Amino acid sequence: MSDACPFRVGDEVVYRPTPRGFGLSAMIGQLRPGQKYKVEAIQNDSYVLVENYAYLGGGIYWTEFAPIKADEVK
């Protein structure tokens, strides 16, 4: 995966994990699929850190998130 993250600090995104990401979220227990989060930082143009997420390994690859759609209100 070499595409740069399309999100910017301050964007709101929805956590839409792949099967691998879903396993990670279950392991660390902080992110909830379908939940809206605000981007706080982007690491190495690829990894997203969102509000209220503190994982020692850093951010999560950007493809685990989706942009907020106008009809989503979580």
- Total-model pTM: 0.79
Q: How far apart are CA 3 and CA 55, in angstroms?
A: 23
29, part of any domain: yes
Q: How far apart are CA 58 and CA 74, in angstroms?
A: 25
3-class state of residue 22 by DSSP = helix
2, part of any domain: no
52, part of any domain: yes
25, part of any domain: yes
Q: What is the pLDDT along the chain (74 residues), one digit of tens a residue?
A: 458 899 999 999 999 988 877 666 655 667 888 899 999 999 999 999 999 886 777 888 999 999 987 555 44
5, part of any domain: no
Number of domains in the chain: 1
